[in-house]
Amino acid sequence: MKKRLNRSIFGVQLNPAPGIWLCLIGLLSIVQSSSIFAATFDDKLTLTEAIKRTLEQNPSLKVFALRDAGLAGQLETAQLNPAYELDIGTENFAGTKSFSGIDSAELTVSLSSTIEMGGKRDARAGFYNNSRSVLAAQKQVESLDLLGEVTRRYIDVLAAQERVVLALEANELAKSTLVVVKKRSKAGSTPEAEVKRAKAAQSQSELTLLSEQQQLAYLKVALAALWGDTRPQFSAVSGDLFRFGKDVDFDLLYAKLEKNPVIQVFVAEERLKDAEVRLAKTESTSDFRWSVGVRQFQENNDTALTAGFSMPLFSSSRNKGAVSSALASRNEVFVQREVALLNMHTQLFRAFNNRQQAIISVLKLQNEIVPALKQALKETRQAYERGRYSYLEYVTARQELLSARRSVIEAASAALTYGADIEQLTAEPLPASAYLERSATQPNFKD
């Protein structure tokens, strides 16, 4: 970059004095050795590595393993048969007259349990199996959200790097302007007030540079926080901010919404609600309770077997409310799924159109506006040096070019960010993802 800056800035030829370069080198050495750059490493981070670290180390994904373990334990319990019960009882003791003491007592020892009817155990197991499916879908949603967030933060860092480069060039241009203004002032062609304004503009450009570097440092910390690092272990991120890939037809993108894990959560929840309905319906079938045992008669020392069974009456009619409630809950999930699809269609359409508009803006700025402003600045500088244009006209031309260059960066960043939103909604990478070297680690959300 230094070699390019030695020749020109924005296409404007520069011939700064040796002292200017010494000041610039000194400023850069101070900045690079300060805490503004949190990382002192030479390695560059790729989006592939950023995604890998996030999916492996982000704490929000670890809770799903704990929840799944809890559901697995509940499933194990749900698959157990009804427990056996040992009953020990005595009758006709400690009474009056002939029933005093224990001579007339009757001792009974029995074993009892319940025979579940209507497939209750299978229904319980189905409920917890479907609960685990819902949890797996929710984990995919969380992973996809993290994937979108790490991509957006990565793009933010990429754009911030470009703004730092722009600020460096703007700072160098301000220094060059100050040299020209001083030269004209010494020749008596311009008042001393313009020199002061040029010095103020140079100081302002240095502040802007420091601000952009501080913002870059913050964005790098925000990116590293996604995988639990408090201090970024990378010096920069790699990628091309101005590469967008080919457009994809909106109808093709919309057809992929059904594959989004958010929709798959609703599908899993529908199956879970179906399991709840089956479980509620099994409660309409009465269970049988049985018991067998031995009774000891103390009075004549005889024994006899006992047996019995019991079942509740009218359980079917008493369970109609639970079945109706489960059916209503299942139908509610279906409605929620339709609402989610409609909202996602709106979000996708917005991201699709905004991305196209941002790409158009970048191309217009790069191919027409910025080249024209570069030429205008060059001609304005030459005219100012000859005394044909005022300092205000020269500064205005410079600011217009800087503003256009910054607009290119912002539009490119917006285009890539909207592309990340589209990828998150469709759960598939766009062709533009090639610039981020991501396709190799793109999670498969179809399974």
DSSP run (H or E) holding 444: none
The pLDDT score that the predictor gives to residue 117 is 65
The pLDDT score that the predictor gives to residue 315 is 61
The pLDDT score that the predictor gives to residue 170 is 92
Q: Which CATH number fits domain 2-81+119-284+320-441: 2.30.30.60, 3.40.50.1970, 2.40.50.140, 1.20.1600.10?
A: 1.20.1600.10
Q: What is the pLDDT of residues 359-374, one digit of tens each?
A: 999 999 999 999 999 9
CB-based contacts of 39, cutoff 8 Å, min separation 6: 220, 231, 232, 233, 234, 235
Nearest-angstrom CA–CA distance, 333 and 266: 7
Check whether 200 has a pLDDT greater than 80. Answer: yes
Domain ranges of the chain: 2-81+119-284+320-441, 84-115+286-318
Contact 123, 275 (CB under 8 A): yes
Q: What is the mean pLDDT of residues 36-45?
A: 53
Check whether 440 has a pLDDT greater than 50. Answer: no
Check whether 214 has a pLDDT greater than 90. Answer: yes
Query: What 8-state DSSP symbol labels residue 369?
Result: I
Q: What is the mean pLDDT of residues 273-280?
A: 70
204-218, 301-315, 362-376, 431-445, range with the lowest pLDDT: 431-445
pLDDT averaged over every residue in the chain: 77
Q: Write the CA distances from 117 to 260, 323, 381, integer angstroms.
A: 39, 17, 93
Q: What percent of the chain has pLDDT over 90?
A: 24
Burial 75-87, CB ≥16 within 10 A → b, else e: beebeeeeeeeee
The pLDDT score that the predictor gives to residue 290 is 72
Q: What is the mean pLDDT of residues 328-357?
A: 86
Q: What is the mean pLDDT of residues 15-19?
A: 40
Q: Comparing 355 with 428, which gets the higher pLDDT?
A: 355
Question: pLDDT-based confidence at 8, cuts 50/70/90?
Answer: very low
Q: Single out the residue of 122, 141, 147, 427 nearest to residue 266, CA to CA.
A: 141
